[in-house]
């Protein structure tokens, strides 16, 4: 690889001409991204209705949720690399069109088999679309504007997961009857068609980078590794962890082989699927990917736990259950937009403060729901849930910005895909482990409140680990800034400083 192609902050940033349509184009990508991420959680509240209407088994209906998450994660890095090498606009529009068609197929599915197949295809389309979102932000924005754009993107990521149960409950309440669940999928069609039409007008084309063919052995190795890690997790509801535990070490071994293959390609001067130097030379990328993965273990799993507690433990309807967690979504939406404007000033400190607020908020929620009377539980927990939501807004949005802001634009798709793959893996662990722990405690004690406290406590473990990683990075940044002030000449000639700034 030529020296000009090496990963370094600010690469290919010169000659930037602001696109006057960039903010309108951003909203097109955010709407599409919101739909794809919302479909991870929105279907959960409809599963009992789907199971009755299609006469499906619990294992079959579980694949309506887990199959989507699986193919979503499998596509991300490859799709990002294709967007970098070809045309992000074209891949985004093709994937969005496929998502719309698959959504219609899901809504029209006459039996559970065709519904699962359509969901697998829908997840694949979503996985091809998702990394283009963050890559287009890299392409369209610079400086403080990029921070604000990533703030809106982070808000979309955080809020979509939080409002999924509420949105599903509202749709089921409005579309009454046994077939009402189909509108959870049909609602994507008109919105998606409008997004495709606007995207054709507003999204900029990307010239072919000419950076070589796609690394097919890398695609195969990464796909097999991610599949081996995720398959037991999506099968956890049908004792997948017990029967398929051997896939975890197998997947780790395959991913180790993938990493070695990528380093070998770099040494040859060839173009890898995911350049390993991203983790060492793009400042903040490795830490941000770790923080995101750890955070999503707890963040994604708590929504299923809350749904189980409110609907089965307290007898709430799907709509009322979704309303009970709305304060978190509101706080997250507000904070994510604000955080996008503050991240350039405060950096990793925002993530540290946000994780602290989430830990306090969810810990306080667990305590209050344990002690409060059932009828008043949602009202009592609303303030601390709102605090947790504010903290989440200061985690997701700034972390995405700090992870991707110094990635060269020509690698933005692959980098964004890898970041989201880590988040999807974390989400798969959380959605398998936390409800599993909830049911384990419930089966032993028949105590819904105790089961909730145990599951939320496990979620907090992942968030505390993310906080420790973020705090170490923040302290390192403070020391680096202090050394710059004390010895500016020495630091300026330090090759590590040159690489990181």
Of the given ranges (54-58, 370-374, 393-397, 429-433), which has the lowest mean pLDDT? 429-433
d(CA 22, CA 461): 39
Q: Nearest Cα to 322, choosing from 336, 314, 310?
A: 310
Q: What is the CATH number of domain 21-204+273-500?
A: 1.20.1250.20
Evaluate if residue 251 carries a pLDDT over 60: yes
| Residue 6: pLDDT band with limits 50, 70, 90 | very low
**Interatomic CA distance for residues 396 and 209, integer angstroms:** 30
3-state SS of 164-233? HHHHHHHHHHHCCCCCHHHHHHHCHHHHHHHHHHHHHHHCCCCCCCCCCCCCHHHHHHHHHHHHHHHHHH
- The reported pLDDT for the residue numbered 492 is 46
User: Which of residues 314 and 121 earns the better pLDDT score?
Assistant: 121
- The mean pLDDT of 283-299, rounded to a whole number, is 87
Structure tokens that stand for 140 in this block: 């369209």
Task: Supply the pLDDT for residue 162.
Answer: 67
Chain-centroid distance of CA 475 in Å reads: 26
Q: What are phi and psi of 313, to 5 degrees?
A: -80, -40
In angstroms, how far is CA 384 from the centroid of its own chain?
A: 23
Q: Which has the closest alpha carbon to 441: 427, 457, 419?
A: 457
Name the band, by pLDDT with cuts 50, 70 and 90, for residue 480: confident
Tell me the per-residue pLDDT of 75-112, one tens digit each, with 9 for 90 and over: 888 888 888 778 888 999 999 999 999 999 999 999 99
Percentage of the chain surpassing pLDDT 90? 26
- Both structure tokens of 494: 């330090």
For 338, 481, 489, 493, 497, the CA distances from 485, given in Å and listed in that order, are 29, 6, 9, 14, 13
**Is residue 11 scored above 80 in pLDDT?**
no
Residues 6+ away with beta carbon under 8 Å from 424: 69, 72, 73, 76, 230, 296
Q: How many CB atoms are closer than 10 A to CB 314?
A: 17
d(CA 361, CA 121): 37
- pLDDT band at residue 215, thresholds of 50, 70 and 90? confident
- Note the residue count of the chain: 501
71 closest CA partner among 254, 230, 290, 222: 230
pLDDT > 60? residue 489:
no
pLDDT at 362: 93
61-80 mean pLDDT? 83
Which whole number is the average pLDDT over 296-307?
83
Least confident piece of the model among 32-36, 203-207, 239-243, 274-278: 239-243
Token pair for 213: 């063919």
| pLDDT given for residue 483 in this prediction | 67
Are 234 and 288 in contact by the 8 Å Cβ rule? The answer is: no
pLDDT at residue 182 is higher than 80: yes
CA–CA distances in Å: residue 221 to residues 78, 244, 263 = 11, 19, 14
Which long-range contacts (C-beta less than 8 Å, at least 24 apart) are formed by 364-371? 364/388, 365/456, 366/452, 366/453, 366/456, 366/457, 367/453, 369/309, 369/449, 369/452, 369/453, 370/449, 370/450, 370/452, 370/453
On the question of pLDDT at 253 being above 60, the answer is yes
Scanning the structure block, which residue is given the tokens 């729901």? 369
pLDDT digits (tens, 9 = 90+) for 383-399: 999 999 999 989 987 88
Residue 161 has pLDDT above 90, yes or no: no
Least confident of 198-212, 222-236, 307-321, 484-498: 484-498
Whether residue 296 has pLDDT greater than 60: yes
Confidence check: pLDDT of 454 > 60: yes
Taking residue 373's Cβ as centre, other Cβ atoms within 10 Å add up to 7
pLDDT-based confidence at residue 487 (cuts at 50, 70, 90): low
Per the model's pLDDT, the better-predicted residue between 32 and 487 turns out to be 32
Say if residues 435 and 456 touch (Cβ distance below 8 Å).
Answer: no
Whether 236 has a pLDDT exceeding 70, the answer reads no
Cα–Cα distance between 21 and 106 in angstroms, integer?
34
pLDDT at 189 over 90: yes
Helix (H, G, I), strand (E, B) or coil at 18: coil
Q: Which helix (H) or strand (E) holds 292?
A: helix 285-308
| Higher per-residue confidence, 385 vs 134 | 385
* pTM for the predicted model, two decimal places: 0.78
Distance CA 137, CA 148 (A): 10
What is the mean predicted confidence (pLDDT) over 127-134?
87
Q: How much is the average pLDDT of 295-319?
A: 84
Q: Is the pLDDT of residue 494 over 50?
A: no
Which residues, other chains included, contact 94 with Cβ-Cβ below 8 Å and sequence gap of 6+? 128
pLDDT of 472 over the 70 cut: yes
Burial 181-220 (b: 16+ CB within 10 A, else e): bbebbebbeeebeebbebbeebbeebeebeeeeebeebbe
Domain ranges of the chain: 21-204+273-500, 215-272
Average pLDDT estimate for 50-55? 87
CA 436 to chain centre: 21
pLDDT of residue 364: 94
The mean pLDDT value of the chain amounts to 82
Q: Which residues neighbour 441 within 8 Å (Cβ) at sequence distance 6 or greater?
A: 447, 450, 451, 454, 455
Q: What would the two tokens of residue 299 be?
A: 């963040």
How confident is the model over 304-320, as a mean pLDDT? 83
Residue with more model confidence, 24 or 274: 24
């Amino acid at each position: 690889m030529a020296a000009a192609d090496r990963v370094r902050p600010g690469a290919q940033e010169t000659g930037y001409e602001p696109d006057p349509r960039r903010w309108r184009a951003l909203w097109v990508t955010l709407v599409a991204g919101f739909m794809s991420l919302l479909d991870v959680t929105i279907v959960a509240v409809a599963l009992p209705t789907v199971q009755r209407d299609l006469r499906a088994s619990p294992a079959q209906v579980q694949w309506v949720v887990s199959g989507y998450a699986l193919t979503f994660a499998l596509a991300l890095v490859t799709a990002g690399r294709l967007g970098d090498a070809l045309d992000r606009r074209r891949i985004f529009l093709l994937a969005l069109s496929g998502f719309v068609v698959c959504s219609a197929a899901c809504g029209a599915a006459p039996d559970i088999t065709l519904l699962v197949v359509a969901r697998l295809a829908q997840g694949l389309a979503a996985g091809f679309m998702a990394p283009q979102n963050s890559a287009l932000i890299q392409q369209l924005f610079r400086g403080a504007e990029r921070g604000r754009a990533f703030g809106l993107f982070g808000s979309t990521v955080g809020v979509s997961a939080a409002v999924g149960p509420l949105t599903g409950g509202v749709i089921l309440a409005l579309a009454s009857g046994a077939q009402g669940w189909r509108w959870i999928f049909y609602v994507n069609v008109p919105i998606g068609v409008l997004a495709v039409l606007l995207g054709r007008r507003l999204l900029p084309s990307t010239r072919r980078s000419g950076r070589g063919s796609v690394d097919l052995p890398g695609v195969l190795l990464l796909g097999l590794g991610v599949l081996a890690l995720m398959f037991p997790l999506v099968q956890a509801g049908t004792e997948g962890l017990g029967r398929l535990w051997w896939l975890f070490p197998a997947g780790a071994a395959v991913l180790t082989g993938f990493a070695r293959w990528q380093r070998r390609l770099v040494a040859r001067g060839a173009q890898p699927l995911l350049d390993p130097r991203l983790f060492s030379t793009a400042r903040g990328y490795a830490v941000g990917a770790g923080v995101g993965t750890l955070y999503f273990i707890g963040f994604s799993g708590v929504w299923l736990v809350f749904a189980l507690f409110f609907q089965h433990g307290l007898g709430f309807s799907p709509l009322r259950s979704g309303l009970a967690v709305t304060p978190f979504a509101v706080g997250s939406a507000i904070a994510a937009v604000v955080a996008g404007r503050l991240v350039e000033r405060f950096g990793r400190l925002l993530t540290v403060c946000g994780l602290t607020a989430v830990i306090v908020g969810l810990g306080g929620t667990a305590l209050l729901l344990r002690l409060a009377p059932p009828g008043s539980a949602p009202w009592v927990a609303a303030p601390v849930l709102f605090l947790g939501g504010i903290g989440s807004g200061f985690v997701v949005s700034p972390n995405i910005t700090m992870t991707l802001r110094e990635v060269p634009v020509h690698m933005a798709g692959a980098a964004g895909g890898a970041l989201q793959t880590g988040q999807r893996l974390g989400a798969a662990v959380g959605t398998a482990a936390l409800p599993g722990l909830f049911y384990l405690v419930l089966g032993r004690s028949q105590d819904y409140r105790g089961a909730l406290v145990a599951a939320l406590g496990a979620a907090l473990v992942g968030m505390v680990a993310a906080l420790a990683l973020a705090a170490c990075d923040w302290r390192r940044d403070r020391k680096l800034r202090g050394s710059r002030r004390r010895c500016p000449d020495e630091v300026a000639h330090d090759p590590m400083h040159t690489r990181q700034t």
